[in-house]
Every structure is written in C-alpha cells, then in structure tokens.
A and B are shown apart, each in its own frame.
Chain A
Amino acid sequence: MGFFDSILRGISRLFKKRQASIGIYGPPNAGKTTLANRISRDWTGRSMGKTSEVPHETRKAKERKEVVIKAAGNKISFDIIDTPGIATKIDFHNFVEEFKMDEEKAKTRAKEATEGVIEAIKWLDKVDGVLLVMDSAEDPFNQVNVTLLGNLEARNLPTIIVANKMDIDDASPATIRDAFPQHPTIPISALAGYGMDNLYKAMMKYFR
C-alpha cells in the first residue's frame, strides 16, 4: 500500500463506480455498534445491531447500504459497515466470570469473536474510509488503536477518529487528540447523540 494505491483509489473515486464504503472500526466496547445505530437511525430510521456491555457483542460485520447523509450543505450516500471489535486476546473465562455467562455460550461467543476479528481485518481491503472509534475515558495508546492507525495510514485510507463516550465523567478527547494529532478527532456521545452534527460535517469533508 502506498503512493500508487492512493492514485488508484483516487481514480476509482473519480469514476464513482460505487459509493464510498465507510468502516466503523475499533477495539471491543468502544461503542462501534452504538455509533452505527445512531448514524443509521438518524438517516434511515432503522438500527443496525444489538449492543451490550459484554464485549464482542458484534461478531459479524453488518452493512447498511445507501445511507444518505446531509450536512454542511452537501448530500452523500455511504455504505456503513459495523465491524466486530479488534482484539489481541479473547478469553472465554472473562465472559463466565465477569458477566456470569453460561460456559458453553461463553466458549461459542469467544470462538465467534475470533472469527469476527479476522472478518474485520478482511474488510480493511474493501472500505474507502474509516471511523475509528475510541473510548474517550480509556488510554488511547492501546495496541489495537496504534496498529489500526498504522495500517490505515499505510493504506492511505481517510480516517476520522471518533472520541466516543463523552457522556462519561472521565472522558478526555484532548488525550486522544494529543496522541494522534495527524487525524481529525471528533468528540461525540453516540449514546446521547452529542456531537453527531460535527461528525457528519467531518464525514462530508474527509470522505467525499
């Protein structure tokens, strides 16, 4: 990936063979599906997936086609892909001990979660832009965030960092902005709807 991929991607966009696919990425429990639901509900009236406090609730990527977003005087149609959370480890015991899940269900969930991570990685080859969701109350320098950003940069994929969970007292979007100043960072609460107008404006600017 690099300079020539960037040119090819630009040519592809120029001819508009298909509309832009925007992947929602991030570690588990960053609020990816909550954000996908917020975007989808705002513009299509329908949700995309179930949310849960238990990590890895989304274990298969879900796509909502032709989500027409209007902001800043523009109107663009996107395909929105909600991807499973990317993790470096998955232990079914966490589901059993922390969330009192039945052991067989926990094992199944963990197995599906590993497949979900692989699927999310594969989707990186198909998307045209990425909303990278981070929990504003967590340390942004986790390996998943750093690895994802490095890959997005290497692929020249337009990326907006979504500093989610601004409704939490400990939220610190400035920490994220300071950690990754080379990318636009938009503070939002996908749960409460805070900051969504700014996010839509940013999508118009960076994903058009």
Chain B
Amino acid sequence: MKKRVLKNGSDRVGISIDLISTERLEELGSGKIRFIIDQVKDGKVLVLEKGLTSSEELELIRVTMTEIDHDSFIGVETPGFTGNISKRTFLQKLFGRTAPPRMMVVGPAHLLKTIKKDGRTIEAIILTRDSALEGDIREEDLTPPRDQEGEGFDGDERFDLDEEIDVVEEQDEE
C-alpha cells in the first residue's frame, strides 16, 4: 500500500488501485504473471481491462503458491468474469477454447475479499481499518504478519497498518 501526501498537505493512507489496460498487459507478454504477482505483493489491487485466460489463471495460482511465505504474502483474490463458459461458439468448441476472458480484479488476499459473485455481478470489498472497526472484519486481518526487518517472524507480532505503508511523495510543488 502507498501512503500519499496529498496537495492539501494531509497524510492519508490508502490502497492503490491500478487499472491495467489490455494494451499494457499484452506488452508484458510472457512477463504478465510475474508483473501481476509483483504488484499484488506490493499491496496493490489491479483491475485488468481484459481478464486472464483460464490457463493464465492457473499459472497465476501456481506461481502464487511458490511465492507464499506465510509471513508477508498469503495469496491472491481474483474475482473476475472469465467469459461465459456455458455459451461457447462452434469454433470455440472445435478448438477447445473457452470464451474470451473479460474484466478481472486481482488483489492481495489479506486486503481483497469477494462477497458475492455470479455470472453477471461481482461484489468485492477492499478491507480497511474502518471496515474492521465496524465489526464484521477483524482488524488483524488487514495486516499480513509481515516482518518489517526481514529477520523472521515470531508469530505474535503483527505490524501496524500505518507502518506497513510505503511512502510515495506527491508533494505540492507550490
């Protein structure tokens, strides 16, 4: 997550949501999955204009499993429309391909929670400190048990959300 210094001078914390265009994803080519994992591990929520294919999604799951270290990254949440797999064209059936994927959201599993998903609607929430205080979500769920110093994790220390946040300076030039 990024801590942004806004133009009015106030420090605000928040979750970075990046909208990734189809062109950007295609530019990444075979580095697409690596890019997504790196961004998500950095605490970002990505909205992909064009979702991943089912084979790319499976690769995302596979790579995610190799990256989980239980101290800083517990996985991904990937609500999305991956094409209507119940309505395939003749050619798609012939060549064994599912319908083209549509929009998809990918985020760190400790921050993004899918509430409801059907073929047409996705309801997801980005967990914040406020949502934890409202009661349904435990505040500790918002903070991965990351060791800031990278020197191991004793299991009891969960670092504070505010301290977790990277700083991106967006100072007013005036």
Which residues on A are within 8 Å of B, measured CB to CB?
A: 1-3, 5-6, 86-93, 103, 107, 110-111, 114-115, 117-118, 121, 124, 139, 141-144, 146-151, 153-156, 179-182
Contacts and interface: CB of A to CB of B under 8 A. Distances in A.
A35 to B, nearest CB: 22
Interface string B50-76: 000111011011101110101000111
A173 to B, nearest CB: 16
A93 B75 CA distance: 13
Contact of B58 (A110, A147, A180): A147
B155 to A, nearest CB: 5
A170 B157 CA distance: 39
Contact of A180 (B62, B83, B86): B86
Interface footprint category on B: 35 or more
Contact of A153 (B78, B94, B98, B110): B98
B132 interface: no
A88 B64 contact: yes
B96 A6 contact: yes
Decide if the interface of chain A is mainly helix, strand, loop or mixed. helix
B80 interface: yes
Contacts of A151: 54-55, 58
Given A121-B62, A182-B85, A150 B98 contact: yes
Nearest to B91: A3
Interface stretch (B27-35, B113-121, B159-167): B113-121
Nearest to B138: A97
Nearest to A6: B96
B96 A153 contact: yes
Interface string B22-40: 0000000000000000000
A118 B79 contact: no
